[in-house]
Structure 1
Amino acid sequence: MKEINRILTIYDQLDHAQRKVALATVVYVEGSAYRRPGARMLVSDDGRWEGAISGGCLEGDALRKARQVMLDGKPMVVRYDTMDDDANSLGVGLGCNGIIDVFIEPIDPADPMNPVALLGEFSQLRDRRVIATICRKTPGLTIKEGSRFVLTEQLTDQVPGWLQQDMELVMEVGKPLTSIIPLIGGMVEVFIERLDPGIELVIFGAGYDTIPLTRLATEIGWRVTVTEDCIAHLAPKRFPEATCLLYADANAVTDKLVFTDRTAAVLMSHNYNYDLAVLTKLLPRDVPYIGVLGPRKRYEKMKAHWERMGHSFSPSILGRVHSPIGLDLGAETPDEIALSILSEVKAFFSQRNGGFLTDRPGPIHERVTFDEEIVII
């Protein structure tokens, strides 16, 4: 989300009466690459760019190609083959051991279906959606390169039948898809990706150690709500990066919040009674991740309290609680603890165990093949 929002900010700052703009998007990766399908770079004809499609190796050449696209007004797919460490056709030794296809297209600000406009709509609505982009086609087909179709979780008849199944598949599994689809009179290559609104962090407690957690979470592009029952702790100058500051009593705060399947709730008030009251209200709510700062015996004390009070929570509900919270990084300072907490939250939503990549067998990024014509990257 952060990269998308930065691209939108730069795009809005441009004078489109004077400047031409292009968007470069990674649409296919074979082997290893620094960025995955869906990585974007916005380029203007004065050489300004925002975003990245690699670790810095491809941007210079993509910038030159983007200028040609803006001049011609026609999109193109550029293939970068970095399999050979000794290949130096781009003037740099890439050594990524991968093949990367980048779709570079001119942006028409007057077209409501241009890619930046669709990203802006997604950023505003914060919904989950799938976007299919026609990257290449055989001559004679009337459909244009750069044509797009959008599928949201709301029913629509705007997606053609020949794309419906693939787009629904990407909506379900979340992995981007590059597919070659036969049509009457030719074939099209389509890049299909799912856009997710990103993680929303709700922090209960506004103490000293909440400040670095808020700062770091917003730095990586998460939306952060900080809530507390002491209004003095919620001074905006303490949390200038927070998306929302909410003053509310522990027994009423959950009724004032909206929880989604991307919400992580973190309790770190250092007030046992406050955390107990909030957690008791949170557990019946559909919050996928709940973290409680403090030693294990503190959470065990809460469970003993529920048992005495006759509260009964199923193992599946209690399984959403992480206490102690965070990955085992040896964190000591508030900033290190913030890193540990955010690392665990990210690992949870990515369905990873948070271990060392050097110990991970196989590729870093999952690759799943569904059939001979559809490859999930």
Structure 2
Amino acid sequence: MRAWRQLTELIERHGVAALITVHDVKGSAPREKDARMVVRPDGAFHGTIGGGQLEFLVLDIAHEMLKAGRGPARIVDQALGPDLGQCCGGRVKILIETFDKQDLDDISPFVAMESKGGLFDLECRMEAGRVGREMASEADVSPGAEWRETHGEDRTPVLLFGAGHVGRALVLALAPLPFSIRWLDDREGAFPAHVPANTSAVQMRSPEAEIAEARPDSMILVMTHDHPLDMAIAAAALQRGFPYVGLIGSATKRARFEKRFRELGLPQERIDALICPIGVAGVADKDPAVIAASVAAQLLQTRERRQLDRKLSPLDAAGGT
């Protein structure tokens, strides 16, 4: 969620808006630290801190704060079980802040950082009842800072080759999810007039160049109108060793492609990494929307595994204690 952009847009439209942040979490909670919501004066909002009684409570508090206009920040400290009857059982601190047009200049650098994509950290301190923020430049919190926040969006890049029925359905399925899609097709007029905000539609000139220039953590989906083109893209992607290379098609198509990959000299371990058929196991419906939902789930599973792997220490990864 680009909270600072949302906050700026609401201030410009309504004069004032609130930012709700999960400031601290102990034990089990509906959302993680730094989850956020942005709230309008009429009570409408963007984002979520997990729903349930906790979210209702802090939305009511934010609404009352907005009625009073720009004022001091407030931290709400809640035990989820005894206080709110939520089964999570943990404890959370929620930071609620109000902003108006006098804050827009201070917010603008954070909006600019969000527009670059990726994550960034801010160092924070309480100053006369309000939160002062500045860009974090060092690994450790600098003297004078009281805490650090992470902002921006951690989106996984996806290269989607093919703008047919399944490609179109998949772009829609991925629209609200944490992916950044580069949608590629070599045909003129292949794309719809409008695409989701997280998607860039590009008329492809060189699939080899697209594969060569892709980030190493990209996920590759191949579903073009042409089998030889599918073959060339999939072979190039497998050779580079991306974390996910998915090819639309049946087990028969996979067998034919595997034979050709071996003739091209691809190592067997790279060939074995190919996902074909695509999608989670147990979903057989071939409707484009169903395939898209199944593939979206598979991409999320791959993303979660990679994030977990990155959190493991070398000792953990080696099976140490």
Report the TM-score when normalising by structure 1: 0.67
Counterpart pick for 2:175 among 211, 215, 218: 218
**4+ aligned runs moved over 6 Å, structure 1:** none
Structure 1: stretches of 5+ with no match in the other structure? 137-141, 152-157, 165-182, 354-366, 369-377
Measure the CA separation in 1 of the matches of 2:122 and 2:240.
31
Deviation at 1:341, TM superposition (A): 0.7
Counterpart pick for 1:344 among 295, 298, 302: 298
Percent identity over the alignment is 20
Q: Does 1:11 align with 2:8?
A: yes
Deviation at 1:24, TM superposition (A): 0.9
Contact 2:121/2:149, CA 8 A, preserved across alignment: yes
1:163 partner SS: coil
Measure the CA separation in 2 of the matches of 1:323 and 1:194.
36
Aligned counterpart, 2:22: 26
Residue pairs, 1:155-194, within 5 angstroms: 158-159=137-138, 162-163=140-141, 189-193=146-150
Q: Does 1:330 align with 2:283?
A: yes
RMSD of aligned residue pairs (Cα, Å): 3.6
Residue pairs, 1:1-377, within 5 angstroms: 3-4=1-2, 8-9=5-6, 11-15=8-12, 19-66=15-62, 67-68=64-65, 71=69, 73-84=71-82, 87=83, 93-107=85-99, 109-111=101-103, 114=106, 117=108, 119-134=110-125, 146-151=131-136, 158-159=137-138, 162-163=140-141, 189-193=146-150, 195-220=152-177, 222-232=179-189, 234-237=190-193, 240-241=195-196, 243-249=199-205, 252-256=206-210, 258-269=213-224, 271-285=226-240, 287-309=242-264, 311-313=265-267, 315=269, 317-318=270-271, 320-332=273-285, 333-351=287-305
Contact 1:202/1:226, CA 8 A, preserved across alignment: yes
- Larger mean CA deviation between 62-71 and 208-217 belongs to 62-71
Measure the CA separation in 2 of the matches of 1:348 and 1:162.
31
Question: CA-to-partner distance for each residue in 1:333-359, whole Å, 9 max, x for gaps?
Answer: 222211111111111111179xxxxxx
Give 1:328's aligned amino acid: A
Measure the CA separation in 2 of the matches of 1:143 and 1:286.
53
CA 345–295 in structure 1, closer or farther in 2 if over 3 Å, else same: same
Contact 1:260/1:286, CA 8 A, preserved across alignment: no
Give 1:11's aligned amino acid: T
Question: CA-to-partner distance for each residue in 1:34-71, whole Å, 9 max, x for gaps?
Answer: 22212111124443432222314233432343343864
Measure the CA separation in 1 of the matches of 2:102 and 2:70.
18
Give 1:248's aligned amino acid: M
Measure the CA separation in 2 of the matches of 1:145 and 1:13.
19
Q: What count of residue pairs does the alignment treat as equivalent?
A: 304
Measure the CA separation in 2 of the matches of 1:329 and 1:148.
48
Deviation at 1:266, TM superposition (A): 0.4
2:81 partner SS: coil
